[in-house]
Chains A and B, each alone.
Chain A
């Protein structure tokens, strides 16, 4: 081995290490800067981070919030977080500033967080009472609850069209009266949640033989009902893919479900000003449940991008200039 070639190799190795280090410094530096900026803007105006969960409706709502805030002069960007367990604490800390939320679900989430998992439910079918309860729980955590609109995404139960036709089902009461024993594709928590298995049994007299824990409104849950493995699936009123699985919703005629109206929740310190409330209020005022279904359909069935769907909706409603 000649000393020159070894020298060349050493130089090459050193170069590789240096390049790696430079990449590293660039990446690391950037991330730290981002973080610094995120913290720096905590008290300021300017930048607003809109939190989004990973499901379609949340993505579209976050896009619309971000666009409206952008139009109102804020520097808005979207940060996706997997679930409420992650984004709610981030919202309290001001790492994110605004989240599209659901009145009852958030009220019960905060209720469980504050008063323990077995706390008495605070949410009900009455949206005003639910929002009042939510405000009481959110305030001490530094969260500001903005007014709720008409659009709601409630839990709902669906069966196949054949099953509904065979047993003449339109409502959950019909299902109770039919005396059918059903297995329910839902989340594990359905076993204990008042709106789920206990409510179906007590309020509607439906005999739930068992719960198939495939997730709330997940494709596998819907597929299980389509295949006949399960008979009923727990999903939401704004589910746009029910048609694809040949499913229909049964009406919640005895108002078992809570008032899960869409509302913006903000960090009171970093995003509590009137400008944000006014910008988001414009959407809350016009958005309806039907709109949510259509928006979800655009993304989940027609496969348009959430960003474009949000833009077109806002333009169509005159909330955003073309």
Chain B
């Protein structure tokens, strides 16, 4: 009896899921929207996506090497951040702007706070807001340029869509926009946000693979939709229902709801907290879009919500199995 076996504390088996696998699933889920973006806006969009991902991974690698920390690029989280930054760029953006964004996201928003899992704000959104402030004209120039518009044969009705202003700017005035074009993505906007159906497909994929929970995206979109419907009806817009559908498909809300608000690190871990967080997102987005001056508001809503996550988690601490409410108060009194 000389052989010795390995000893560890139970459990002795682990689920096959890993951080890397989760990130890989998110990347796969983002691909349909990226493909639509590239088809829609041309090869330059592809270049922007690649530059964003590469600079994001490079920033993480260099930072960790420089500080002699273990290199964690293998977990693919920097790829996801880079891809999201690229998807948030207008199609004609100078290539060096997403590079600055990536470095900002990885170094300032993520690594300075302690790396993966420690950032209080979604890195890609932090970078987008930083860029919006620093390079506001470049970041809001949605000129489509040499996009392939043959994605939908119904181009005729979408001529408006390709001529400059974003769909949200139209909707802001209470006017209607072509819902079909919004749904398919043959409209103006940043590279990755235009196609509601591609984003929805990715989101549903994540739901089915159990990477994300339904609560945040569904409650976010739901509460936003209800508020928009009420507002549209109150303001006497023609066909409020269709207007609501257009608001849901336009701008960054689909990308935000499925891929950014659901970011594990910056959303609450408690089930009740997720509901509060999602409703808060819906209300804030509605405020920005329908009440405030700007037409876009998803990024700011999510960043704001990210900041109150610790507070939400603190107040939604779940009661353990078998602990009754009155008992908890008694205990608090004892302590």
A and B are interacting partners:
no
